[in-house]
């Protein structure tokens, strides 16, 4: 068996080691979230740190634990021997005065993670055991890791972490070579390598011990307390508890560098760990008003204005305009909607599920991890929760006379309740007709679609793109979880031809209905981006055909959202009419702001 990997040998993660050091020096810092993709070294860093401090001070909590394993259950041995109901502590209660390690925390049940964070905040955990209630004091640190490509934490859970640090993979050949060499020397048991870095680890451990002894004497001056609040104001955070976190991290940094007081350099360094995962969430809401163009947009060339001395007659210009609508053109992705993803994620990808909400669905049927148990009923089949069944039977053994060690009656049976993430498909139905290109709207549409696509990928939703133009509809991107193809398809997506709106809605409806046959529990969201003005019929009248399809979609379980791309001086309101028929969320593309998004959130939640 190879010896532990030295912390000092971890390549290019000095700030990650510093964040772990802060947590070890000052228990008031409470928690740290390590964020990084596959191969960034999250697990290696956590394992090395545990071996450095001493494994007895850590408790690893594997994902997929049942509620009983984590929070405790009935002690069956005591119950069978004496009939006394006593709580057998779970792993959480064993973590008192220790550090809990959670890998892939974003794959944990939201309920369990919330209980963990709440117990840490109030310093105790309450366990309910039938009519008995046990309150246990708890004081623990929490180190968690997550891979963002596997999904994101909710805002409230993210904000409960005191610190965060993003681990990056090696950026160049030299760094990758250093990582490979270090790993090879460790696996081969190179004595010089181990001695060099173990000596460095021992020296670092001594610095941590000295800093912990100095911590109670570290003073924060009034001026530096004001500076901490000024730093929070500068990034738009107005929460007093965040100010306390910032000062506690700064105290640990001051203790580490043997300073008797917190200095501005400590506050600035503390901000790198305390603020990044909070800034976007607490940023002030944008006030609607004239939008200031970015420098990139200001330098962009304006399209040539019509009828300005170019020698064309009015008739020639008009016919040229109509020809341009029929011709294919490719418009670049606009920049102005690049920051929509986090807000729009709540609108479309978290707030909708078959019974109203999207998220984790609990059921005694199917697959998924067990989270709790319920009384068994015949329709539950053989999905038996054996632990809960044995605990229930143990309560009655002193009244049941049998030669068997334990007698189980049918009324003792319990069934497993499993947690499954509700599946979700988001289908973008995009108007790619000539009018979208002639009025320069397609660049904005592409930006909105791309922003929302990225959120769908993070949440492991299946996202597809269906376009309609010329004489019919085309499935540009079948519903998929692959993030690589979408941008290329959007960048090269042309506009041109007429507007077969009814065909687009019909094709989208048929696609989603076919998917529902395979998965009845799937949440389906249709996002329409169009001005709503169709001019290609399915039967007789283009607009009446579109309305009929809208009525049909409204009768189905499909949730809908409409982005109205109409920008002309005279507003016909066709897209808004379709939104009303489908009972959709509705937005004007040209007026998307955070406050407008919040209105849609309220209508869809």
H helices present in 215-313, as ranges: 222-234, 240-256, 264-274, 276-282, 295-298
For range 4-10, the mean pLDDT: 89
Per mean pLDDT, which range of 59-63, 329-333, 459-463 is the poorest?
329-333
Per mean pLDDT, which range of 131-140, 293-302, 408-417 is the poorest?
293-302
Q: How many CB atoms lie within 10 A of CB 107?
A: 16
Question: Whole-angstrom Cα distance, residue 337 to residue 542?
Answer: 31
- Check residue 261 and report its DSSP letter: B
H helices present in 413-494, as ranges: 434-438, 442-458, 485-491
Question: Whole-angstrom Cα distance, residue 277 to residue 227?
Answer: 20
Q: What is the residue whose two structure tokens read 């897209």?
A: 575
The H or E element that residue 15 is part of is: helix 14-25
DSSP class per residue in 65-94: --HHHHH-EE-HHHHHHH----EE--HHHH
DSSP class per residue in 381-396: TT-B-HHHHHHHHHTT
pLDDT at 289 over 60: no
> Half-sphere exposure (CA, 13 Å, Cβ side) for 34?
29
For range 340-345, the mean pLDDT: 34
Per mean pLDDT, which range of 139-148, 326-335, 373-382, 384-393 is the poorest?
326-335
pLDDT at 55 over 60: yes
Cβ atoms of residues 539 and 548 within 8 Å: no
CA 16, distance to chain mean position in Å, is 22
CA 527, distance to chain mean position in Å, is 21
Predicted pLDDT of residue 453: 65
Inter-helix orientation angle 191-214/42-53, to 10°: 70
The residue with greater pLDDT, 361 or 13, is 13
pLDDT at 442 over 80: no
pLDDT at 298 over 50: no
The answer for residues whose C-beta is within 8 angstroms of residue 250's C-beta and 6 or more apart is 220, 224, 228, 262, 266, 267, 269, 270
Predicted pLDDT of residue 352: 33
Which residues of 263-366 form beta strands (DSSP E)? 329-330, 360-363
Closest CA to 439 of 217, 275, 586, 589: 589
Phi, psi of 360 (to 5 degrees): -100, 125
Question: Whole-angstrom Cα distance, residue 19 to residue 37?
Answer: 18
For range 507-525, the mean pLDDT: 85
Cβ atoms of residues 6 and 201 within 8 Å: yes
Per mean pLDDT, which range of 159-163, 281-285, 360-364 is the poorest?
281-285
Predicted pLDDT of residue 482: 58
11 pLDDT band, cuts 50/70/90, is confident
Q: What is the mean pLDDT of the chain?
A: 76
Cβ atoms of residues 505 and 534 within 8 Å: no
The residue with greater pLDDT, 526 or 132, is 526
330 pLDDT band, cuts 50/70/90, is low
CA 265, distance to chain mean position in Å, is 32
Question: Whole-angstrom Cα distance, residue 255 to residue 270?
Answer: 13
CA angle centred on 449, ends 448 and 453, rounded to 5°: 120
Predicted pLDDT of residue 397: 78
Cβ atoms of residues 38 and 45 within 8 Å: no
Predicted pLDDT of residue 296: 39
Q: Strand 523-530 and strand 424-431: pairing?
A: parallel
Predicted pLDDT of residue 89: 75
pLDDT at 526 over 70: yes
pLDDT at 445 over 50: yes
Q: Read off the tokens for 341.
A: 């993803």
Long-range contacts formed by 207-215: CB under 8 A, 24+ apart: 207/256, 208/21, 208/24, 208/25, 208/256, 210/258, 211/21, 211/25, 211/252, 211/255, 211/256, 211/258, 212/24, 212/25, 212/255, 214/255, 214/258, 215/25, 215/26, 215/251, 215/252, 215/255
Please write the tens of the pLDDT for every residue from 175-231.
888 888 888 988 888 888 888 888 899 999 999 999 999 999 999 999 999 999 888
290 pLDDT band, cuts 50/70/90, is very low
> What are residue 362's DSSP bridge partners?
419
The H or E element that residue 101 is part of is: strand 99-102
The residue with greater pLDDT, 241 or 65, is 241
Q: Read off the tokens for 236.
A: 């738009």
Predicted pLDDT of residue 361: 55
Q: Read off the tokens for 181.
A: 């060499």
Q: How many CB atoms lie within 10 A of CB 463?
A: 29
Question: Whole-angstrom Cα distance, residue 273 to residue 184?
Answer: 31
Predicted pLDDT of residue 506: 94
Please write the tens of the pLDDT for every residue from 539-586.
879 999 999 999 999 999 898 988 888 877 677 889 999 999 998 888
Predicted pLDDT of residue 368: 61
Predicted pLDDT of residue 492: 74
For range 142-169, the mean pLDDT: 85
Question: Whole-angstrom Cα distance, residue 415 to residue 572?
Answer: 57
Question: Whole-angstrom Cα distance, residue 508 to residue 523?
Answer: 15
pLDDT at 285 over 70: no
Predicted pLDDT of residue 137: 79
The CA distances from residue 211 to 238, 253, 389, in Å, are: 30, 9, 51
Predicted pLDDT of residue 48: 92
Question: Whole-angstrom Cα distance, residue 556 to residue 520?
Answer: 12
Global confidence as pTM = 0.56
Question: Whole-angstrom Cα distance, residue 308 to residue 491?
Answer: 31
Inter-helix orientation angle 42-53/14-25, to 10°: 40
Total residue length of the chain: 605
Q: Read off the tokens for 275.
A: 């603020």
pLDDT more than 90, % of the chain: 26
Please write the tens of the pLDDT for every residue from 221-248.
999 999 998 889 888 888 888 999 999 9
**Which of 111-125, 298-312, 318-332, 499-513: highest mean pLDDT?**
499-513
Predicted pLDDT of residue 244: 93
The CA distances from residue 486 to 287, 328, 444, 464, 479, in Å, are: 32, 20, 16, 9, 11
pLDDT at 8 over 70: yes
Q: Read off the tokens for 218.
A: 């570290």
pLDDT at 287 over 70: no
Q: Read off the tokens for 582.
A: 């489908």
Per mean pLDDT, which range of 4-18, 248-262, 390-404 is the poorest?
390-404
Please write the tens of the pLDDT for every residue from 25-47.
999 999 999 998 888 889 889 99
């Amino acid at each position: 068996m190879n010896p532990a990997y030295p912390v000092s040998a971890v390549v290019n993660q000095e700030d990650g080691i510093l964040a772990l050091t802060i947590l070890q020096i000052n228990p008031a810092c409470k928690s740290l979230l390590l964020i990084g993709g596959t191969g960034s070294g999250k697990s290696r860093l956590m394992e090395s740190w545990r071996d450095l401090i001493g494994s007895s001070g850590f408790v690893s909590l594997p994902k997929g634990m049942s509620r009983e394993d984590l929070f405790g259950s009935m002690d069956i041995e005591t119950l069978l021997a004496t009939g006394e109901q006593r709580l057998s502590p779970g792993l959480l209660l064993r973590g008192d005065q220790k550090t809990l390690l959670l890998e892939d925390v974003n794959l944990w049940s939201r309920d369990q993670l919330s209980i963990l964070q709440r117990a840490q905040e109030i310093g105790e955990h309450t366990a309910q055991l039938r009519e008995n209630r046990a309150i246990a004091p708890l004081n623990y640190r929490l180190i968690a890791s997550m891979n963002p490509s596997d999904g994101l934490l909710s805002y409230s859970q993210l904000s409960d972490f005191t610190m965060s640090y993003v681990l990056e993979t090696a950026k160049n050949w030299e760094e990758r070579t250093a990582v490979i060499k270090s790993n090879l020397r460790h696996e081969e048991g190179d004595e010089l390598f181990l001695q060099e870095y173990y000596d460095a680890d021992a020296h670092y451990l001594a610095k941590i011990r000295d800093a912990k002894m100095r911590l109670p004497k570290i003073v924060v001056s009034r001026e530096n307390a004001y500076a901490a609040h000024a730093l929070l104001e500068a990034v738009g955070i107005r929460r007093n508890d965040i100010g306390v976190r910032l000062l506690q991290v700064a105290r640990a940094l001051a203790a580490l560098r043997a300073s008797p007081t917190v200095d501005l350099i400590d506050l600035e360094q503390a901000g790198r760990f305390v603020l990044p995962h909070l800034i976007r969430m607490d940023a002030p809401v944008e006030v609607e008003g004239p939008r200031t163009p970015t420098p990139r947009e200001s330098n962009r060339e304006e399209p040539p204005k019509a009828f300005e001395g170019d020698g064309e007659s009015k008739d020639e210009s008009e016919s040229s305009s109509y020809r341009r609508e029929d011709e294919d053109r490719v418009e670049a992705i606009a920049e102005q909607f690049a920051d929509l993803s986090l807000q729009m994620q709540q609108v479309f990808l978290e707030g909708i599920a078959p019974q109203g909400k999207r998220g984790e669905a609990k059921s005694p049927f199917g697959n998924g991890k067990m989270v709790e148990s319920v009384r068994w009923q015949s329709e539950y089949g053989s999905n038996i929760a054996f632990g809960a069944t044995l605990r229930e039977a143990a309560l009655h053994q002193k009244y049941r006379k049998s030669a068997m060690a334990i007698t189980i009656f049918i009324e003792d049976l319990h069934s497993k309740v499993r947690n499954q993430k509700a599946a979700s498909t988001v289908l973008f139905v995009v108007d790619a007709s000539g009018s979208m290109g002639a009025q320069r709207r397609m660049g904005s549409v592409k930006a909105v679609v791309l922003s929302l696509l990225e959120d769908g990928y993070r949440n492991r939703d299946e996202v597809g793109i269906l376009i309609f133009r010329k004489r019919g509809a085309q499935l540009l991107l079948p519903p998929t979880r692959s993030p690589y193809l979408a941008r290329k398809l959007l960048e090269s997506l042309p506009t041109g031809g007429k507007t077969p709106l009814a065909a687009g809605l019909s094709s989208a409806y048929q696609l989603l209905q076919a998917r529902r046959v395979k998965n009845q529990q799937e949440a389906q969201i249709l996002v329409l981006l169009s001005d709503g003005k169709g001019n290609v019929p399915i039967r007789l009248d283009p607009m009446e055909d579109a309305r009929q399809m809208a009525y049909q979609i409204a009768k189905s379980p499909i949730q809908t959202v409409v982005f109205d791309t109409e920008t002309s001086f005279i507003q016909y309101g066709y897209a808004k009419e379709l939104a009303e028929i489908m009972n959709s969320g509705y937005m004007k593309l040209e007026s998307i702001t955070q406050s407008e998004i919040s209105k849609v959130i309220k209508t869809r939640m």
